[in-house]
Amino acid sequence: MENAHLRLGLLEYVRITEKTSTRIRLRVDRYMGEGRQAHLLSVFGNDSDVGTITAAVHEKATFSLTFPDGTTKEVSLGERASCYKGAVTLPGRKHPVRHLVAVSQELHTNGTSGRTLLLRYRREEAWSTLVSFLGLPAVPAWSDHVLGIVEGKKRIEEIDGIGCEPVLVSAATEEVLEWIGEGLRSGAVAFPSEPGAAAWPRPSIAELLEVSSVSY
């Protein structure tokens, strides 16, 4: 992609001991976090550097993260983070590029504490995610009613991101069930007229990672 490097962040890890000094810098293509708490970190580089960053994540290390606009933050994935490694083969390169995706414990158990992290906010996608993660008995047609309440209560917060437009949706299962019940009683929403399974949207990974501005 043209000028893709202008949309990348930079992760720096420094470790100094009595005998050695380590300094590693890797490019970041995706990031999601709140303040110092990182939730999603996607970096790529050579095998040695990615291996060192993986070990540092498991050691709960702190990293220096530079955003595409030049701002810098100290971040960490905290306790019990998960790491997933892979390789990307590029035309013209003899060796593949190593890729690491690190995920915080909260993102790994997304939604279970009434906090749902999303790569971006689209009503249709957000509603299907909430229904799935919160275990709600619901159908796609109820998204406008319930998410209209969520938006009105200002329960959607933009958080730090690179390569995505992440948000935090604060809504517990009991709250959403109450809003659904109120909607059914008032007639704002209704049960489906025909029996059968609900048809939920199935966006591709490419669609989920697409970056464009939204408002709500």
Give the per-residue pLDDT at 198.
Answer: 75
d(CA 179, CA 68) in angstroms, rounded, equals: 39
Query: How does the average pLDDT of the chain come out, rounded?
Result: 90
103 φ, ψ to 5°?
Answer: -130, 135
At residue 118, the pLDDT reads 96
Percent of the chain predicted with pLDDT > 70: 91
Q: Is the pLDDT of residue 59 over 90?
A: yes
More confident residue, 176 or 4: 176
Q: Are residues 36 and 131 in the same domain?
A: no
Burial class (CB in 10 A: 0-12, 13-18, 19+), 154: exposed
Domain end, chosen from 87, 107, 127, is at: 107
Local confidence band at 164 (pLDDT 50, 70, 90 cut-offs)? very high
Which three-class secondary structure state does DSSP give residue 124? helix
**Domain shared by 126 and 180, yes or no:** yes
Same domain, 150 and 200: yes
- Which structural domain, as residue segments, surrounds residue 189? 109-208
Tokens of 27: 């490019």
What is the structure's pLDDT at 214?
41
pTM (predicted TM-score): 0.86
